[in-house]
Chains A and B, each alone.
Chain A
Amino acid sequence: MSELSKSFEMECEILDRDHQELMQQIDKIAAVIDGNDDGRCAKLTPEMIKFAKQHFTREEALLIKVGYPDVKKHAAHHQNLDHKMETILELAAMADENSLAGEKLKSALKFFLADDIIDADLDFKSFVKDRDI
């Protein structure tokens, strides 16, 4: 992945920076799984999940600040990701010893970032952009 695609840009610096950071952390975990980095999934993944949760909090705060009308719906979407994050952590705990867990983790992380986080955020892109944060 490495860089955010144009179609994923929120055109809001705070959010784009968070998404880019998440992407880089996920890229690093993928590199470990592919044997191109000597880190450990069991250490890197909880850090990534921690950052993702912080991002959710920042994002909800921003949406409240700009008066986004569907903020509760988006917060509920974040809550619904709890189970996916638990699964990701379970896979990460095994991924350094079990290649199948590693491959599943890599796939789960790709969808978690692109589908569950960034794409869902695009729903409020124009609202936030109009407020010039």
Chain B
Amino acid sequence: MEGLHIHGAAHAYGDNQVLSKISMVVPGGELVCLLGPSGCGKSTLLRLAAGLEVLQEGSIVIDDVTVATKELHVPPEQRRIGLMFQDYALFPHLNVIDNVSFGLLGMARAKARAIARERLDQVELAHLTEAFPHMLSGGMQQRVALARALAPEPKLLLLDEPFSGLDTNMRASIRQMTLNVLKQSGVATLMVTHDPEEAMFMADRIKILGRGGKILQSGDSHEIYYHPNNEFVARLFGFMNTIKGTVQNAMVQTPFGPVPANGFADGEPAQVLIRPEGIVLSSGGQDGGESSGGIPVEVNSTHLLGHFSVASLKIAADRNGAQEFYVRVHKEFLPELAGRITARIDPEQSFVFADDATVPGEPMLDDLNILSPELKTLLSTGLEPQDKVQKQAEAAE
């Protein structure tokens, strides 16, 4: 089979086990993203596939050729791989076409330059063959690096956080172009990222790695986002409203009404995680949506963030205001101009997990790059329990 086949790969740095029996396949023409927080071993796996680390256990096969086992180590230059890193690693003293043709060693110069031109044409840089890297924007350098990685027609392309050096606007257009080029080339691609949105955009299949280097879930973006199989995976894709409770009559009680307990037994502690877009607000009509199962809420604040707003709210009947919820609403919905507002849970966006605190790896807010910096700041300050915030404020005074 064309592509990459890793089976049972394990790796440790001293006593620190960074990968635990990882198995995966990247078929030809497909793109697999390794997604996980810093330190979960995803770059180590990429380096093992590249031959930059020596495999300690398991096997790695590229296009039916075994390139690594405990006893075998085929060097990187013999693996027919292309590599692209976050910092592009272009040679500053070579112009664009020489950078791209650099990997075509042993080929007649004229033929190598013709191939390099073709690749540059693919990434829409054929007009800049004589330019030097310092004359190019970050996005252009990234496209040169892609052309260089594809020039020798690798069997496997390995991308390590390839877009993280680009600004937000450029990143969107460059990754679309990169995806088009990769699909045209038909190369098997393994990409490492800690950005959930990037993984969802690029990947045919996402592998979620938790701390300790274990694959926690594997699936397409829809499956991973809408059917996370544990709390870690669910939280990796952004902020979650969390409601803790105990299962009674196969349901977990929430302020928005009971939620099916997902197979947990009565008496077990459970938690309901709800995405910000999973709390649906309604207004208008005589009861503001109450007749369709909504619970009256009071909106504390809203912040417009472009095509959506983030609102914080409390249950209207909960006069003590113990829990605040964060909701993402479409820009057309303006809670400040609405009358009576109700909220209900979208079952597709809410998940029930055991409340046993044995999460395979707790993602930090910094890992949640799907959120904008502004929203992260908002959430990181707004999510503290109110009594803690009050105590901090008192201490500061």
Contacts and interface: CB of A to CB of B under 8 A. Distances in A.
B230 to A, nearest CB: 12
A6 B61 CA distance: 10
Grouping DSSP codes into helix (H, G, I), strand (E, B) and loop, the B interface class, with mixed when no group exceeds half, is strand
6 contacts: A7-B5, A7-B61, A80-B229, A87-B222, A107-B220, A119-B7
B227 interface: yes
Given A5-B61, A119-B24, 18 more contacts: A4-B1, A5-B1, A6-B64, A7-B61, A8-B5, A83-B227, A87-B223, A107-B205, A107-B220, A111-B205, A114-B1, A114-B27, A115-B24, A119-B23, A119-B25, A120-B23, A122-B7, A123-B8
Given A5-B61, A6-B64, A111-B205, A119 B27 contact: no
Nearest to A110: B27
Interface of A: 1, 4-8, 80, 83-84, 87, 104, 107-108, 110-111, 114-116, 119-120, 122-123
Given A108-B220, A119-B25, A122-B23, A8 B1 contact: yes
A108 B218 CA distance: 12
A84 B205 CA distance: 12
Grouping DSSP codes into helix (H, G, I), strand (E, B) and loop, the A interface class, with mixed when no group exceeds half, is helix
B290 interface: no
B59 interface: yes
Nearest to A8: B1
A107 B29 CA distance: 9
Interface in B5-53: 5, 7-8, 23-25, 27, 30
Contacts of A1: 1
Contacts of A7: 1, 5, 7, 59, 61, 64, 66
Interface in B175-225: 204-205, 218-220, 222-223
A119 B5 CA distance: 8
A120 B215 CA distance: 13
Nearest to B227: A83
Nearest to B28: A110
Contacts of A4: 1
Nearest to A23: B1
Contacts of A114: 1, 5, 25, 27
Contacts of B229: 80
B184 to A, nearest CB: 14
A119 B61 CA distance: 12
B30 A111 contact: yes
Interface of B: 1, 5, 7-8, 23-25, 27, 30, 59, 61, 64, 66, 204-205, 218-220, 222-223, 227, 229
Contacts of A84: 219, 223
A6 to B, nearest CB: 6
B223 A115 contact: no
Contacts of B223: 83-84, 87
Contacts of B23: 119-120, 122-123
Nearest to A3: B1
A7 B9 CA distance: 14
A115 B6 CA distance: 10
B27 A111 contact: yes
A115 B1 contact: no
A111 B61 CA distance: 16
A78 to B, nearest CB: 15
Nearest to B63: A5
Contacts of A122: 7-8, 23
B205 A115 contact: yes
A110 B219 CA distance: 12
B22 to A, nearest CB: 11
Contacts of B27: 110-111, 114
A108 B227 CA distance: 16
B125 to A, nearest CB: 28
Contacts of A104: 220
A104 B204 CA distance: 8
Contacts of A5: 1, 5, 61, 64
Contacts of B59: 7
A106 to B, nearest CB: 9
Contacts of A87: 220, 222-223
Contacts of A80: 229
B1 A107 contact: no
Contacts of B204: 107, 111
Contacts of A119: 5, 7, 23-25
B59 to A, nearest CB: 7
A87 B25 CA distance: 20
Interface hub of B27, B218, B227 (most chain A Cβ within 10 A)? B27
Nearest to B61: A7
Contacts of B25: 111, 114-115, 119
